[in-house]
Amino acid sequence: MALPYDIIVLDEVFAAYDLKAVDRKAVDDLLHSFSPEKELVLTGRNPPQHFCDVADYISEIHKVKHPYDRGVQAREGIEY
């Protein structure tokens, strides 16, 4: 797939994929046809195994401190 971008970031794509809020076939096609000269960054919790199988990097981020700990509710445009 020839795309005019050097990097594509699909933020929180794993949740959207799991909930079928995105076209799964389109995401899978992008994943398997993406040029190795480009960067594809996928974020989110609980990635499906087939994403992990083809990944070059996998990182986990753990909360240390968050406003929710002080009772601050999710804010539009920030947490949702």
What is the model's pLDDT at position 35?
A: 83
Nearest to 42 by CA among 22, 66, 62, 64: 22
pLDDT tens digits along 30-73:
888 888 888 999 999 899 999 999 999 999 888 899 898 999 99
Q: Is the pLDDT of residue 1 over 60?
A: no
What is the model's pLDDT at position 64?
A: 94
Q: How far apart are CA 1 and CA 15, in angstroms?
A: 24
CB 39 within 8 Å of CB 8: yes
What pTM did the predictor assign?
A: 0.71
Domain spans, the chain: 7-70
